[in-house]
Amino acid sequence: MTVPELLELETRRAIYNLVLSQPGLHLREIQRQLGMHVNLVEYHLHHLMASELIVSVDQGGYTRFFASQAPGEGSNVDRLTSQDKRVLGMMRQPMPLRIMVYLLASGNAQHKDVCEHLGCAPSTLTYHMKKLVKARIVVQRSAGEGKGYHLADRRGVARLLMLYRPAPFDQVDAFSELWLDLSMEAPEAGPTGRPQGTPD
């Protein structure tokens, strides 16, 4: 194999390994993290997709890239579901990520509580909540007990956060990391935020 061929192989491997370890990156994020020219990244992404090693998903104006197979436990291979890809795509955006982590910790929250905690305008929160509800990541209840917002799949979101730690994760409030350490040990919380089976 010639030197140019070896360099091309190493470049392609670097792109694949980045997409494998950080699913849901878009073109410019890959280019920035690897310090490569955008046209070079596009060229290799095209070949990786043609080889069916990675797939692309259009989401919110971005084309996001995922390895065709994600590493699971031991020698098993755990494929990311289409919903996992939607969640990971949202986790690449700072505000949706902060909302998800807050709902992960609170279990259920009303609009004003989320606004106060995140320090954002009500209109900003409404915009992002609509995206999260449409993506079936967040559930909105408009009446009765549990009124407000909660995650459709708390354990699934916690699992993806712990497995992949999206790049904006460091921007999330400090309490979230401690909560994530405990989340998988705690009983599943219902929409009210209390573990199921606990008294009111």
pLDDT per residue as tens, the chain (200 positions): 454 554 567 888 899 989 988 888 999 999 999 999 999 999 999 988 888 888 999 887 889 999 886 444 333 335 788 899 899 989 888 899 989 988 988 888 999 999 998 899 999 999 999 999 999 999 998 876 667 999 999 888 877 887 777 765 555 544 455 455 545 444 444 444 444 443 33
- Walk me through the domains of the chain, giving residue ranges and CATH numbers: 3-80 (1.10.10.10), 88-183 (1.10.10.10)
SS in 3 state form for the chain? CCHHHHHHHHHHHHHHHHHHHCCCEEHHHHHHHHCCCHHHHHHHHHHHHHCCCEEEEEECCEEEEEECCEECCCCCEECCCHHHHHHHHHHCCHHHHHHHHHHHHHCCECHHHHHHHHCCCHHHHHHHHHHHHHCCCEEEECCCCCCEEEECCHHHHHHHHHHHCCHHHHHCCCHHHHHHHHHCCCCCECCCCCECCCCC
- pLDDT score recorded for residue 45: 92
- The pLDDT value recorded for residue 31 is 94
Predicted pLDDT at 51: 81
